[in-house]
């Protein structure tokens, strides 16, 4: 009899649930809107209902399920199974999500932060398949990270590790909301890349083709910047290049510290594909050491939004399963 773990990925817009069998083969996930009214109880009830719907769809009962992995945005108390807060999901404050879900489904459950879960998903079934050590950088609104060392997710001593967006890539540089100066997130996230371009334009110093786009839409996106860059816009080229340069600085540091087989670029910005990958790889090649052959490679993520539920289910296998 094939047994499964259920992975639940809680996002600001959707709850995604899916199965993973003991050979790390994921099933097609189901998606449900994240409730916007009813507070934390409504959100968790939707997660439970989603998992039940998934089991029903596949004709599974509790005895077919080894455990449930829950990936959510944080900050979290992972080992206590508690969401401390979730900035993009109203009402999620001090929610014992693991306990509620475990009780609701009658199954053992484990909590993991969403970036770690996505990293573990890519490690198990995506770009990292077959390696022992992998680091995921998720590039979107912010920059997040997931670290896998010798096949296991690294949480850190206080469960706040893998905050790769808050690595200092330009000490003393741009002020970050976290209180530090010069964080990777301030140079290489979609949000701040757009803000950097916007700031130059608003100072009136640029003839960039992004100027009318900003005027029309009130803000810029990473996509706008990449499009302008490809059309030859100088400011866009500079900002995009800077984002890639600092990502490469982060990659050098990750390679020296953790020496993973692969550093994987994921998140919304990874949709830019080789427009992102090629310059990051080039900067990385130019900057990394020459005393030894650089063996860590930089790659694109493969699983897109599915990485989260897959990795959450993978953590459940690692916690509850005997494969």
Task: Tell me which of 252, 269, 272, 313 binds its own copies, using CB under 8 A.
Answer: 252
Q: Does 168 contact its own copies by CB under 8 A?
A: yes
**Calpha distance 311→145 (Å, rounded):** 13
CB 137 within 8 A of CB 150: no
What CA–CA distances, in Å, run from 122 to 81, 252, 317?
A: 23, 20, 15
82 HSE (CA, 13 A, CB side): 6
Hey, what are 276's tokens? 């992102």
Q: How far is the CB of 60 from its own copies (least distance, A)?
A: 33
Query: Hunting for tokens 């130059």 — which residue is that?
Result: 200
Q: Does 261 contact its own copies by CB under 8 A?
A: yes
**Calpha distance 153→164 (Å, rounded):** 14
Query: Hunting for tokens 């640029």 — which residue is that?
Result: 206
Q: How far is the CB of 269 from its own copies (least distance, A)?
A: 20
Helix, strand, coil % in the chain, rounded to nearest 5:
45, 20, 35
Q: Does 258 contact its own copies by CB under 8 A?
A: yes
Q: Does 47 contact its own copies by CB under 8 A?
A: no
Beta partners for 15? 10, 32
Task: Tell me which of 106, 215, 232, 290 binds its own copies, using CB under 8 A.
Answer: 290
Task: Tell me which of 19, 43, 47, 164 binds its own copies, using CB under 8 A.
Answer: 164
Q: Does 238 contact its own copies by CB under 8 A?
A: no
Q: Does 259 contact its own copies by CB under 8 A?
A: yes
Q: Which stretch binds its own copies (CB under 8 A): 113-121, 148-156, 191-199, 212-220?
A: 148-156
Q: Does 180 contact its own copies by CB under 8 A?
A: yes
The secondary structure element, H or E, covering residue 271 is none
Q: How far is the CB of 103 from its own copies (least distance, A)?
A: 29
- The DSSP letter of residue 38 is S
Q: Does 139 contact its own copies by CB under 8 A?
A: no
Chain residues that interact with its own copies, rule: CB under 8 A: 75, 131-133, 145, 147, 149-150, 152, 154-164, 166-171, 176-181, 246, 249, 252-254, 256-261, 287-292, 295-296
């Amino acid at each position: 009899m094939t047994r499964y773990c259920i992975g639940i990925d809680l996002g600001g817009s959707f709850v995604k649930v899916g199965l993973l069998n003991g050979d790390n083969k994921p099933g097609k996930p189901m998606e449900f809107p994240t409730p916007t009214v009813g507070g934390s109880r409504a959100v968790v009830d939707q997660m439970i209902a989603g998992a039940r719907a998934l089991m029903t769809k596949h004709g599974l009962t509790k005895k077919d399920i080894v455990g449930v992995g829950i990936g959510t945005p944080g900050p979290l108390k992972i080992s206590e199974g508690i969401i401390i807060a979730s900035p993009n999901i109203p009402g999620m404050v001090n929610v014992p999500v693991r306990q509620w879900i475990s009780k609701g489904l009658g199954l053992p459950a484990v909590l993991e932060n969403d970036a770690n879960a996505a990293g573990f998903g890519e490690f198990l079934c995506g770009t990292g398949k077959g390696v022992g050590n992998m680091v995921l950088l998720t590039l979107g609104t912010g920059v997040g990270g997931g670290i896998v060392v010798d096949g296991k997710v690294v949480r850190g001593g206080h469960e706040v590790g893998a905050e790769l967006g808050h690595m200092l890539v330009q000490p003393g540089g741009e002020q970050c909301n976290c209180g530090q100066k010069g964080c990777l997130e301030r140079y290489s996230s979609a949000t701040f890349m757009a803000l950097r371009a916007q700031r130059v334009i608003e100072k009136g110093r640029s003839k960039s083709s992004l100027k009318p786009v900003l005027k029309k839409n009130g803000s810029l996106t990473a996509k706008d910047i990449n499009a302008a860059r490809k059309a030859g816009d100088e400011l866009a080229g500079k900002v995009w290049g800077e984002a890639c340069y600092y990502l490469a600085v982060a990659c050098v540091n990750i390679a020296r510290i953790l020496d993973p087989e692969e550093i994987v670029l994921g998140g919304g910005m990874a949709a830019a594909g080789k427009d992102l990958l090629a310059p990051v790889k080039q900067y990385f090649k130019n900057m990394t050491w020459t005393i030894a052959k650089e063996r860590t490679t930089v790659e694109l993520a493969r699983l897109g939004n599915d990485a989260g539920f897959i990795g959450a289910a993978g953590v459940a296998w690692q916690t509850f399963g005997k494969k």
